[in-house]
Structure 1
Amino acid sequence: MIRKLLLFVFFIPFTVFSQNVKVDSVAVLVLDRMSDVIGELGSCSFNLTTSVDQKGLYGVEKKFSNYEVYFKGPSKMLVQARSDDFHKGYWYNGEHMVYYSYKENNYSVIDAPDSTLVMIDRIHEDYEIEFPASDFFYPAITDDILENFPTVAFLGSKNINGKNCFHILADNDKMTFQLWISDDALTLPLKFAITYKDREGSPQYLASFSDWKLNPDLPDVLFEFIPPPGSHQITILSKMNSN
């Protein structure tokens, strides 16, 4: 279906040019399709591998991290995060979000709203905790991109690891956002890159999706945290309480 829609759009020029705004309708079509597919999932899981450029002792260093992500319904999430510097877990069951540090063997329980997306916003705002790639699960992702990037372009079909992808680029004064979405019936995100043009050295953030599983049967107990032996509970102060 997506290919038929793309062929139709290619023959009718809908690209918008006004007040330095350049929006390619093909890019919007692909983004909407991706968002619709993700929005109809009852559950899913995937792996996310990220690299970020950070200033080190001898110049810019790349720091790598890996995330195992599980979503179920509107109010359950589990994230396992690993890197050379940390090993953390986040459990959300619709009532509480639990943060656990494997290295320090301590955990914190935070009251949370009964919606995964609202919880992510609240936890980020209050505790500055980020959940990479969570933006792809917001129904308004296309509108958010159009609102924040005056240029949204479709750069054609590219091949990543033997898989054909739609290549989309969004650009503003501060950053360039590139996204590669699978050119198949599911149109799932496979890779994205952010270049921070307003920072010294234009550092990049890269992320790759793998091992997508759609509508897996995930037991509710997966999202319940059980304190490991010898662990101790701590309190994480929100930004409001730390001032």
Structure 2
Amino acid sequence: MKKQLLVIFGILISFGVKAQEGYHDSTALAIMDKVGEYFGELNSLKFTTQTAEDVAFSDNFFIKEFKTGEFVLQGPNKLAGKIHKHGKDHFYFYNGSQIVYYSLDGNFYAAADAPDKTLDMLEWLYTDFGVELVVADFLYPNFSQNMIDSMDYLEYLGQAELDGNKAFHIGGTNSEMTFQLWVSQDLEIKPMKAVITYFGEPYSRQLEVSFGDWEVNQTYPNSIFEFLPPPSSKQIIWTKKN
């Protein structure tokens, strides 16, 4: 037992030293290069998500929240999304100039002028409003460079199996989080799951997202990215976070 503990301790020390010095494994970068290249060449994309996320319930207590999502992206500036959580449906419509949130159950909506590119809009939506609509890091053509810039440590962790399907397993860390990504070993190389653990106070919290039901290069009508207020719906103000 003592020998095993010494071996584990040595691995942890090695990991910490590499993380402080900066380490970016070439195999991990090659896989992420392939992912970014693939998604950068697509004209449209549809996929679903299953998310489990730790959310603050009180000052020192987190609860696990589950939700599902369905997303359609077309070109550089069109997005439609549906999120189901707490038994309710929430919709998002982005047409390249405006983002609209609509609550089906409450029959109310909020609209705001937005950046003219989908990826910029998603980043702006999170930064200004605290809404992380979808984990979309892999959609950037320069995915691997973004990870180099944000992660002190990146490593290919070997092959894994998710739901009977083979995957490449990649891990990374910086001073604020750890990041794990599982990528399919197919001709079309796509993310299967991402797990992010944030080193927040007073406790760490985790976000886990599984991706599936991929459809690529379909042609969707522009009308699905436009929002038409339903009868008797109420418009509310979409306020920025503090």
For the criterion TM > 0.5, the same-fold answer is yes
Tell me the distance in 1 between the aligned counterparts of 2:173 and 2:35.
Answer: 20
Q: CA-atom RMSD, angstroms?
A: 2.2
Partner of 1:195: 197
Tell me the distance in 2 between the aligned counterparts of 1:220 and 1:55.
Answer: 37
Equivalent position to 1:124, from 106, 111, 126: 126
Please state how far the C-alpha of 1:207 moved relative to its aligned partner.
0.5
Show the 5 A alignment for 1:75-86: 75-84=77-86, 86=88
Partner of 2:230: 228
Tell me the distance in 2 between the aligned counterparts of 1:146 and 1:137.
Answer: 16
Please state how far the C-alpha of 1:156 moved relative to its aligned partner.
0.7
Please state how far the C-alpha of 1:142 moved relative to its aligned partner.
1.4
Cα distance per residue 1:203-232 (max 9 Å; x no partner): 221100010111122111111112122211
Partner of 2:182: 180
Structure-2 change in CA distance of 1:118 and 1:196 (3 Å): closer
Structure-2 change in CA distance of 1:108 and 1:60 (3 Å): closer
Show the 5 A alignment for 1:81-160: 81-84=83-86, 86-160=88-162
Question: 1:173·1:198 contact (CA, 8 Å) conserved in 2?
Answer: no
Please state how far the C-alpha of 1:101 moved relative to its aligned partner.
1.4
Please state how far the C-alpha of 1:19 moved relative to its aligned partner.
6.4
Partner of 1:52: 53
Structure-2 change in CA distance of 1:202 and 1:185 (3 Å): same
Letter in 1 for 2:66: F
Please state how far the C-alpha of 1:198 moved relative to its aligned partner.
4.1
Show the 5 A alignment for 1:20-59: 20-56=21-57
SS in 1 for 2:27: helix
Letter in 2 for 1:146: I
Structure 1 unaligned spans of 5+: 1-16
SS in 2 for 1:212: strand
Structure 2 unaligned spans of 5+: 1-17
Question: 1:46·1:209 contact (CA, 8 Å) conserved in 2?
Answer: yes
Letter in 2 for 1:189: P
Partner of 2:73: 71
Question: 1:177·1:194 contact (CA, 8 Å) conserved in 2?
Answer: yes
Letter in 1 for 2:48: N
Please state how far the C-alpha of 1:188 moved relative to its aligned partner.
0.4
Show the 5 A alignment for 1:152-171: 152-171=154-173
Show the 5 A alignment for 1:200-211: 200-211=202-213
* Matched positions, count: 224
Cα distance per residue 1:168-224 (max 9 Å; x no partner): 000122211000000111110010101123444432211000101111221111111
TM-score by length of 1: 0.84
Runs of 4 or more consecutive aligned structure 1 residues displaced over 4 Å after TM superposition: 55-60
Please state how far the C-alpha of 1:18 moved relative to its aligned partner.
9.7
